[in-house]
Amino acid sequence: MGKKRVIKKTEEELLKETEKVESQLQKELKIGPSVKIKEGRVYIFSSYNNTILTLTDPKGNVLYWTSAGRIGFKGTKKGTPFAASKAAGVMAEAIKKFGIEKLEILVKGIGSGRESALRSLAAHNLDIVSIKDITPIPHDGCRPPKVRRV
């Protein structure tokens, strides 16, 4: 079967990769350094297929968004907790660039990435004021179909 080889990136490749991510962040951040936002909201939407994180101001205007697919994960790997934590890491970098001090986190969905994205945001030393679950829960739901008579 042959030997399994682990591909390790050199320091130069890692530096190039981090510079690439930082340059993309610079391009994507549309607000100039003169405008400082003190508070913000992070919406975490986690489905079975992907995890999407959106950063907004308190009014609800979108400042930045990212997802597991945007980072480079493809297919079923987008729905994993690891991909969600990587997306949350990119979001934490963007939050620090904006200079946002206080965060409200709103979690929605039933995917496996919701917990890990939340933990990853908390691990980046962000001041999290509140965490709220806004997953829609049906109460009584739709009217069931009529009973079939044969």
**Does 8 have pLDDT greater than 90?**
no
Contacts of 79 (CB under 8 A, 6+ apart): 47, 48, 49, 50, 51, 68, 111, 112, 113
Average pLDDT of the chain, as a whole number: 87
Query: What confidence category does residue 79 fall into, taking pLDDT thresholds of 50, 70 and 90?
Result: very high
Higher pLDDT, 5 or 95: 95
- As a whole number, mean pLDDT of residues 28-54 equals 82
Distant-in-sequence, close-in-space partners of 143: CB < 8 Å, separation ≥ 6: none
Give the pTM.
0.74
- C-alpha angle 111-116-117 in degrees, rounded to nearest 5: 85
Residue 101 pLDDT > 80: yes
Structure confidence at residue 117 (pLDDT)? 96
Share of the chain above pLDDT 90, in %: 67
Confidence class of residue 125 from pLDDT cuts 50, 70 and 90? Answer: very high
Q: Give the pLDDT of residue 17.
A: 73
Domains of the chain, each with CATH number or no CATH: 35-133 (3.30.420.80)
**Residue 132: phi, psi to the nearest 5?**
-130, 135
Confidence class for position 150, pLDDT limits 50, 70, 90: confident
